[in-house]
Structure 1
Amino acid sequence: RTLAMSLYGDLDISVIDELPPGRKPIKTVHRYDGNRLKVFRFIRDEIEKGRQVYVVYPLIQESEAMDYKDLMDGYESIVRDFPQPKYQISIVHGQMKPADKDFEMERFVKGETQIMVATTVIEVGVNVPNASVMIIESAERFGLSQLHQLRGRVGRGADQSFCILMTGHKLSNDSKTRLETMVATNDGFEIAEVDLKLRGPGDIMGTQQSGLLNLKIADIVKDNDILKSARHYALQLLKEDPSLSKPENLIIRHMYAQLVKHKNIWTYIS
């Protein structure tokens, strides 16, 4: 919706299209559950190099309604594959007391644990430059903005970082598009445009943040350049003739008077 509002002219865009100095683009791959042994082998190799790893789950506990990997089950299998004392593992989720969460996070930040098993509570505000691998379990469960945010937890140091999107084989077309987008690009603008195509911009006048916006003529993504051009000329016109009283602008004034009678004027933008 933010992207849609910026196209419509309510917001200006500041383009930050390069990484901070010394950082490398994160390599992102999609792997199926059947590749888990290879993924675990890769984790061991990274830990041997002194790196740290995030493993993120969409659920804390198993759900009958949703067939997704859950944190508690995942934590147990990781503990079996990465036994103490050689490996130390932190666990963080939203049902923990704040003090316990802070304690576990602090252990990971200090490098006392090599693996952080977590839900999306680590989506923002966590900065561990030594963490080089982000594994997202049931990645099809997450939206593009969440996947992009989670991937941003790694790649914060000078070492090459990796994001591994783990899924089962049953994927919807939208899920495939999201995963393919994440593998193809690190560019937040490209990701936002794909998200806009998939979910729609929502209600620009209200609070709904996704959903279709059925314009009579324009397509908010395909017609991006035309919308920007239209905005430019509209601003120019209002600057030169704010009341639209010049003879050549009377037809625009008449059309506007007709449009404002409608409750949802946005659909008439073209």
Structure 2
Amino acid sequence: MNRLLQGDVGSGKTLVALMTMLMAVDNGFQATIMAPTEILANQHYDTIKAFLGDLPVTVGLLTGSTKSKARVHLHEGLRDGSIHLLIGTHALIEETVQFHNLGLVVIDEQHRFGVEQRSRLWRKNDRPPHVLVMTATPIPRTLAMTVYGDLDVSVIDELPPGRKPIKTTHRFDNNRAPVYAFMREQLQAGRQIYVVYPLIQESEKMDYKNLEDGYQHIQEAFPGVPVGMVHGKLKAVEKEAQMQAFLAGHTRILVATTVIEVGVNVPNASVMMIESAERFGLSQLHQLRGRVGRGADQSYCILVTSYKLSEDSRRRIEIMCATNDGFEIAEADLKLRGPGDLEGTQQSGIPFDLKIANLARDQQLTEFVRNIARDILKVDSTLDLPENLLLKAQLRKRFAHEVNWGVIS
């Protein structure tokens, strides 16, 4: 299996992944799920442990913060097969992490990992494991692979009952008064708010809003409202404390960088304001927006930009305001950035020159030729028939790499 599971944030991808992993365990294999941040890995661990209850399934957690003593115990359990499910971050791809019989790899929010990073999990067993990649917004390279047919797709196209689509608006940064007035209304209604910045500190090279100044500014603009702050340079314990305070409602506004882009689940947070939104790509904006809209209340995303916008930036903002659909956003991303290198590690941009097809525009054509290729392989899977020898020679020439990156979603 080499499958993409696409579903908007909060649609139930984690539960689908868990059911798939349990099928692997039931057949004598181990399974692992790799998340891009410790916050998300910890959340998956807690969620999956709660789902499993008293089932005889042993779950391990491995992140950068895991102590040496606990790591020794984990490594032993993985090698002897007594640990069935492993949840972790990039720490999973270290050479020291060896499995007894890894059968399934789940990669969550796959746009946050490089192709080579994802490929290392394939080498954790003599027989490559099945792969399930999950995302709310597929990166262009993955979308291109679905068009080419190398990656199967499953779509969760519904949100849980009671969820309302997030309303997204665009505002310029010299007109903040109405935005702040709206935020005060939401706070008075008992809601919580995220404010996201692209930078932690002021940069001489980039004229973007930064978190440290923003934190002070938000405190001054909302006196008496408890404000928290979280960013990538905080220690894991400090980050967790800030997130727990926000989750418990002790802080009402959370000023953050993109460290909260994935996995944070606070149902009462119904407003997100993204500063210098032109600084972010479509995938990041969609992921950030997905931190709100997790409860039954109407949620809002406010994209704040300067007046100086490039044509691409303006188009990204328009797309975000027009749709909440992850695949629609990914297709727009494909048109803006190109498909990525299907046989290399580049995830977007246009590294090859297709003579006929445009992946974004000519999906029917690419699906048509994909079916022709499938029919050829059904009859002659090794391409040994005389009429297929030229095709075989060209494929050998193209795939003469040590690693066949093209099969890695």
How high is the TM-score relative to the length of structure 2? 0.61
Change (3 A) 1:179 1:146: same
Partner-residue secondary structure (3-state), 1:192: helix
The answer to whether 1:215 aligns with 2:354 is yes
Q: 1:141 aligns with which of 254, 279, 283?
A: 279
Match of 2:186 in 1: 46
Contact 2:383/2:389 (8 A) holds in 1:
no
Three-state SS of the structure 2 residue aligned to 1:181 is: helix
Distance in 2 separating the partners of 1:186 and 1:111 = 27
- Asked if 1:25 corresponds to 2:165, the answer is yes
- Spell out, residue by residue over 1:119-150, the C-alpha distance to the aligned partner (whole angstroms, 9 max, x if none): 00111121000000011100000011100000
Question: 8 Å contact 2:383–2:391 — kept in the other structure?
Answer: no
Amino acid at match of 1:215: L
Native 8 Å contact 2:383 2:392 kept in 1: no
Pairing 1:70–2:215 present: no
Is contact 1:165-1:179 (8 Å) kept? yes
Which residue identity is paired with 1:146?
Q
- Seen in structure 2, the aligned counterparts of structure 1 residues 72 and 238 have a Cα distance that, compared at 3 Å, is same
TM-aligned CA distance change 1:110 to 1:243, over 3 Å: closer
What whole-Å deviation, never above 9, does each CA across 1:48-103 have from its counterpart, x for those lacking one?
A: 0000000000000110000000001111111111112xx10010011112221111
Q: Look up the match of 2:250.
A: 112
Tell me which residue corresponds to 2:228. 90
| Post-superposition offset of 1:236 | 2.1
How far apart are the structure 2 equivalents of 1:176 and 1:227?
A: 29
Shift of 1:241: 3.8
Alignment of 1:189-200 (within 5 A): 189-200=327-338
Higher deviation after alignment, 46-55 or 2-11: 2-11
Q: Residue 32 of structure 2 aligns with which residue?
A: none
Of residues 169, 172, 176 in structure 1, which corresponds to 2:307? Answer: 169
Coordinate RMSD, CA, aligned: 1.7
| CA shift for structure 1 position 2 | 0.6
CA–CA distance in structure 2, aligned partners of residues 33 and 180 of structure 1: 16
What secondary structure does 1:166 align onto? Answer: strand
Deviations 1:19-70 (A, max 9, x none): 1211000000011012211101000000000000000000001100000000
8 Å CA contact retained: 1:92, 1:118 = yes
| Corresponding letter in the other structure for 1:256 | L
**Per-residue deviation, 1:260:** 3.8
Alignment match, 1:239: 378
Deviation at 1:245, TM superposition (A): 6.5
Q: Higher strand proportion, which one?
A: 2
Task: State the alpha-carbon separation in 2 of the partners of residues 45 and 39 from structure 1.
Answer: 10
Partner Cα distance (1:171, 1:264) in 2: 41
Deviation string 1:170-222 (CA, Å, 9 cap, x unpaired) is 01111011100000000000000011111112211111111113211110111
1:268 equivalent in structure 2 = none
**Rounded Cα–Cα distance in structure 2 between residues aligned with 1:103 and 1:24:** 29
Give the 4+ runs in structure 1 shifted more than 4 A: 243-246, 261-265
Are the structure 2 counterparts of residues 208 and 245 from structure 1 closer, same or farther at C-alpha, using a change threshold of 3 Å? closer
Which of 323, 326, 330 pairs up with 1:185? 323
- Letter matched to residue 163 of structure 2: R
Structure 1, unaligned runs of 5 or more = 266-270
Q: Is residue 2:259 matched to residue 1:259?
A: no
- TM-score relative to the length of structure 1: 0.91
| Matching residue's letter, 2:157 | D
Q: Compare relative contact order (CA 8 Å, sep 6+) and give the higher one, 1 or 2.
A: 1
**Partner residue of 1:203?**
341
Please list, as runs of the form range in 1=range in 2, the aligned pairs for 1:149-160 lying within 5 A after superposition. Answer: 149-160=287-298
| Number of the residue aligned with 2:406 | none
Q: Distance in 2 between matches of 1:242 and 1:99?
A: 53
- Give structure 2 stretches of 5+ with no counterpart: 1-140, 401-409
2:199 is the counterpart of 1:59:
yes
Aligned residues: 259
